[in-house]
Amino acid sequence: MFEGIILDIDDTLLVDGELKKEDIIYIQELKEKGYHILLATGRSLKEALPISKALNLGTPMVLLQGALTFYDNNSDRSIEVPLNKNTAKDIIYWCRTNRITPRVYIGELDYFYDFETNLEDNSEVFSDILQIRMEFENNDYRKERFEKYFENREDIITRIHPDSIDCLSMRTDKGVAVRRVAFEEGWSLSKFISVGNFPGDSMLFDETDFNIVIERKKEIKKTKNIQNISSGTVNEALKNVFNSLKEYKEGKYRKNTEIRIRSLGSFYYIFRENDVEEVDELLYDIWKMVNEEEELSLILRREISRNNFFEVIDRINYLISNNIIYKIAD
């Protein structure tokens, strides 16, 4: 049913800044089973490589929220989405005026900008900057000044963290970068699971049909494009999904002719010989789609693309356990 996993790193793979041994082992097992694994992160190459190596993953990697797609040190194949040249210069000028030393990200490199160089002589650099990071530790006043100064700029994305701000081109899109990789690799994103955080990975979730949010600090409500919310590790969340899918991977099902489900206005009822039971719309929708020509797993995939995964599984289990639908013998 699924062919690959797209993984965010921070607050997803990392638990309190550490990569769990159990996640390393499980991701390696998925690779050995033939699953495609892609890292898609806000980290730079230097920051992401240790995680990639620990997981024994190769490339490509989607980095800097999609501003850089990296392929095996092959710069001719890597794809970059730089900041507008004049915008990058404006940010650097602001930093110099406000005595903030920014870190600039250019291609696969990142370094603190050297104000000893003449800004005008360094103009070519501004055309290649993918991201600028300003550190504001213990300096909320300057951080607020920066936010206010650039709040009406329509050509940049500002990602605001507790002690820093990252600036990227408005054209930067992690989801688009992942889609481009999938096209080049011949993958179908409808068969991929994205694992990330919300709302940071919303663009990624727009590209895949099944999405898991890892959230360990606060409760979040089910929202569009999210099929599962987990407070555990990545391997726990994925195992939960795969274990629930095992019995539905193969097989066609038939409706029991002695039992029917009908919609009466906005209400839904199961009619048995001596019994009537009210049910919900989701159960009715799943029952209605069951036919002898289609694998149940295909119906499941369609439903989980727009409903909570475990609610769909629960309704299917109900239909099977109550003999409302039954598996056709092979």
* Percent with pLDDT over 90 in the chain: 68
**What type of residue is 307?**
N
* Per-residue pLDDT tens digits for 207-227: 998 899 998 777 776 666 777
Sign of the CA dihedral with 97 first, then 98, 99, and 103 last: negative
Phi, psi for 293 (deg, rounded to 5) = -95, -10
pLDDT at site 10? 94
Q: DSSP readout, 50-119?
A: HHHHHTT--S-EEEGGGTEEE-TT-TTT-EE-PPPHHHHHHHHHHHHHTT---EEEETTEEEE--TTS-T
Look at residue 40 and tell me whether its pLDDT is greater than 70: yes
- 99 by Cβ neighbours in 10 Å (0-12 / 13-18 / 19+) ranks as exposed
Q: Which sign does the torsion angle of CA 64, 204, 31, 73 carry?
A: negative
What six digits make up the tokens of 295?
A: 């694998």
Lowest-pLDDT range of 88-102, 118-132, 198-212, 307-321: 118-132
